[in-house]
Amino acid sequence: MRAKYWLNDYLCFMATINFLIQSKNNPAAIYLRFKEGRSIDVKVKSNFVVNPAHWSNAKGQPKNLKDETFKKLDADLVKLKTDLINHYNSHPGKDSITLIWLKDFINPIEQPDAIPSKLVNYFDYYALHKKSSMQPATYKKLFVNKHLLERFEKASKTAYLISEVNADFKLQFEAFCKKEGYAINTIARAIKFIKTICYHAQSNGVATHFQLNNIKTKTEKVEKIFLTPEEIDLIQKADIKLDHLINARDWLVISCETGQRVSDFMRFTKEQIRYEGKVPLCEFTQVKTNKIMAVPLSNKVREILAKRGGNFPRRISDQRYNEYIKEVCRLAGINTKIKGSKLLKETNRKVGGYFPKFELVTSHIGRRSFSTNNYGKIPTSLLINVTGHTTEAMFLEYIGKTETEKAKQLAEYF
- Alpha helices in 204-242, H assignment, sequence order: 229-237
Q: How many residues does the chain have?
A: 414
pLDDT at 12 over 80: no
Q: Which amino acid is at 362?
A: T
- Write down the mean pLDDT value for the chain: 87
Q: Could you report the per-residue pLDDT of 288-328, keeping only the tens digit for each?
A: 888 889 999 999 999 999 999 999 999 999 999 999 999 99
- Please enumerate in sequence order all residues whose Cβ is within 8 A of that of 43, keeping only pairs 6 or more positions apart, or say none: 31, 32, 33, 34, 99
Q: If you ran DSSP here, which 8-state letter would residue 212 be given?
A: G
Beta strands in 231-312 (DSSP E): 273-276, 279-285, 292-296
Q: Where are the beta strands (DSSP E) in 170-310?
A: 273-276, 279-285, 292-296
- The mean pLDDT value for 93-101 works out to 71
In the chain, where the domains are located: 2-106, 119-214, 229-411
Q: How confident is the model at residue 113 (pLDDT cuts 50, 70, 90)?
A: low
pTM over 0.75: no
Q: What is the CATH number of domain 229-411?
A: 1.10.443.10
How far is it, in rounded angstroms, from Cα 263 to Cα 367? 11
CATH number of 119-214: 1.10.150
Q: Are 42 and 33 in contact (CB under 8 A)?
A: yes
Residue 359, pLDDT > 70, answer yes
* DSSP secondary structure of 14-65: S-EEEEEE---SSSEEEEEEEEETTTEEEEEEEEEEE-GGGEETTTTEES-T
